[in-house]
Structure 1
Amino acid sequence: MSRWGVLLPTFDPFEQGRLHDVPAAARHAEALCFDAVWAGDHLACHVPLLDAPTALAAAAAVTDRVALGLSVLLLGLRPTAWAAKQLATIDVLSGGRLLLGVGVGGEFPEEFTAAGVPLSRRGARLDEALSVLPDLLAGRPVRHDGPALALDVPALAPALPATPPIYVGGRGEPALRRAARFADTWLPMWLDPPTLAQRAQELGELAAGHGRPAPGVALLFGVCLDEDEERARREAEAHLARQYRLPLRVVERWTMLGTPERVAPMLAAHAAAGVGEFIAMPLGRDPVGQYERLTSLRALVDGPASAIPTPGA
């Protein structure tokens, strides 16, 4: 049976002024028995957005069970020691529920300029940060003088007993190589099942070369569930245009639109290709309203045994 998560509404592409709904959305997702809630990370993009670690801390305060994921933290954009402190804080406050997704970003070059980080060095910075992060989180002092990062960090406390599960985002070769070295789970988006299966096989071979087991595979997917497929398409198109300035036609073949019955076979094909975890990015003006529809989709993909129990039952 697959694990299922949902993105929290930490972006406001339609500028509805409802970013304060994030804690309530986290409570609602937990009541619906999702396995995890996730927050995307940017410093600046085309729409208002919340800081991802802070949003997850707010979600931690109002939930008890659901895991808290970053999808994905732009670790190379941030000072590494401060990022480690934030991550440890979330994990401590939540009782060990943090899931650490990381990625390189780059779709908004202006945020790298704003942070004083060279866009061209983002991959190297991420790799070096990942190489020292376990020591930082474990409370060990770190001295590191690499080509992209120079660190001299005393022991940080509180220390974590273990590094949170690491998800490496991205679908290309650099992401596969990074996942093979560091990840517990590979987290791509916008891949068809045959391509995903082929890259997952390659990932396993790369990981074996590092003496590591093959990471699991999660899938981040855009979705708008609606009985009216054309209305779902319009909502998704408007969302992507506002948040990413991305035409839907570019990614429509990987975007899940329409009824749960129409979408379920697409996700089932990804499950057959090796995906063990699904992370939904609801598209449209009512992302939280998509959560209950996603429970119906989950039951269709995973079978009757995955039917979501009534909260409080």
Structure 2
Amino acid sequence: MTRCGVLLPTFDPLGTGEPPPVVAAARRAEALGFDGVWAGDHLACPAPGLDAPSCLAAAAAVTARVTLGLSVMLLALRPPAWAAKQLQTIEALAGGRLRVGVGLGGEFPQEFAAAGVPVHERGRRVDETLEVLADLLGGRPVRRAGGALGDLDVPALRPAVAAMPPIYVGGRGEAALRRAARFGDAWLPMWLTADEVARRAERLAALAQEHGRPRPRLALLVGVRVDDDVAAARDAAAAHLRGLYGLDLEAVERWTALGGVAQVAEHLAAYVEAGVGELILMPLGAAPLAQYERLAEVRVHLGLGRPTVSADQEGARA
């Protein structure tokens, strides 16, 4: 069955000045039956935002069932040893529930400058980190010379993970497909049509075969706003995208699910039919926990879950 998760509200794209309700969102997502919660990762972008690994650690502490994923961790911004320590920590708190999404970033060069990382080296840094990540997470020393990462001399890091968490490789282009074929357990693009996902999945399968690996699973990150008033849904999504990415809705609207429950479910169903085995839904606009309630309805409409008790119904029963 297709898995369905939600992005945690770790950013403040609307400039409310309020702390993002990460802990409450993690609890509510689990109560509503979602399969996973995910955190986006940026050091510096147009919206104020919290540190993604810290948010997943907080979510791990208040949940027991949902998987916890990075969508996606910008590995190039971090020394490999620190990235591994952050991941080991989440895994220790989450007990086998970690999912490691990785990607390049680069749309905000200022965060690479802030980290002291040349933005043009991000692809090499990600690949070189992925080459040693299993050893780092597994508690094995890593020593290698040269490359974009420079000389590495990392002692055994503890606590080692008991099993390597699944790697989700983000990105849409050929380089991302090659990276997913080589390293990924899943491919995690965004902003593609269902037909484009299916076509690129065929290319991914051919590339994976060159490495003697099975084709990675297909996952997809989708921006969503559920509102029976489509104009209101568009306005909410537009404000969110401007605040978070400095992006106009018109540039990505055809890949964004907007409207009532049935409309959003129809949009997502096309991806399920194209072979996507995991949907990661990014609620757009204000009141993300209220959007979780509506997205739970979408999930049921898609046949991916059972009806759940809403927060209002829980309050009425109390």
With normalisation by structure 2, the TM-score equals: 0.95
Alignment pair present for 1:211 and 2:219: no
Residues 107-160 of structure 1, C-alpha deviations (whole Å, 9 max, x = no match) = 110000000000000010000000000000111000122421121101111111
CA distance in 1, matches of 2:140, 2:59: 28
Cα distance in 2 for partners of 1:109, 1:310 equals 43
In the alignment, which residue of structure 1 is the partner of 2:295? 294
Identical positions, percent = 63
SS in 2 for 1:11: coil
Equivalent position SS for 1:230:
helix
Greater shift, 265-274 or 36-45, is seen at: 265-274
Does the residue aligned with 1:289 lie in a helix, a strand or coil? helix
- Report what 1:105 is aligned to: 105
Mean Cα displacement is larger for which, 279-288 or 119-128?
A: 279-288
1:194-209 correspondence runs (5 A): 194-209=195-210
Is contact 1:66–1:97 with CA below 8 Å preserved after alignment? yes
Matched letter for residue 287 of structure 2: D
Deviation at 1:230, TM superposition (A): 0.3
Distance in 2 (CA, whole Å) between partners of 1:102 and 1:113 is: 19
* TM-superposed deviation, 1:43: 0.4
Question: Which deviates further from its counterpart, 28-37 or 264-273?
Answer: 264-273
State the 1:20 CA deviation.
4.6
Which residue in 1 is equivalent to 2:7? 7
Give the match for residue 153 of structure 1: 154
Does residue 251 (structure 1) correspond to residue 252 (structure 2)? The answer is yes
The secondary structure found in structure 2 opposite 1:41 is coil
- Partners of 1:213 and 1:77 lie apart in 2 by 29
Match of 2:285 in 1: 284
Is the Cα–Cα contact under 8 Å of residues 6 and 280 in structure 2 kept in the other structure?
yes
Q: Secondary structure at the match of 1:288?
A: helix
SS of corresponding position for 2:17: coil
1:223 partner SS: strand
- Contact conserved, 1:169 with 1:175, CA < 8 A, in 2? yes
What corresponds to 1:308 in structure 2? 307
Consecutive unaligned residues in structure 1, runs of 5 or more: none
The 3-state SS of whatever aligns with 1:237 is helix
Q: Tell me if structure 2 keeps the 8 A contact 1:184–1:215.
A: yes
Task: Determine the C-alpha separation between the residues in 2 that align with 1:174 and 1:246.
Answer: 23
Q: Distance in 1 between matches of 2:69 and 2:153?
A: 28
- Root mean square deviation of aligned Cα: 1.2
Residue identity in the other structure for 1:207 = A
| AA partner of residue 18 (structure 1) | E
Q: Does 1:56 align with 2:56?
A: yes
Task: State the partner residue of 1:174.
Answer: 175
What is the match of residue 119 of structure 2? 119
Distance in 2 between the 1:162 and 1:145 partners? 27
**CA distance in 1: counterparts of 2:102 and 2:140, whole angstroms:** 21
The one-letter code of the counterpart of 1:307 is R
Secondary structure at 2:288 match in 1: coil
Name the CA distance, whole Å, in 1 between partners of 2:193 and 2:265: 14
Q: For residues 29-50 of structure 1, give each alpha carbon's deviation from its aligned partner in whole angstroms, at most 9, with x where no partner exists.
A: 0101111000000001111100
Separation in structure 2 between the aligned mates of residue 4 and residue 88 of structure 1, nearest angstrom: 24
Provide the TM-score with structure 1 as the length reference: 0.97
Distance in 2, Cα, partners of 1:278 & 1:264: 12
Contact persistence 1:19–1:49 (CA under 8 A): no
Residues 70-109 of structure 1 aligned to structure 2 (within 5 Å): 70-109=70-109
3-state SS, counterpart of residue 275 of structure 1: coil
Q: State the shift of 1:301 in Å.
A: 1.7
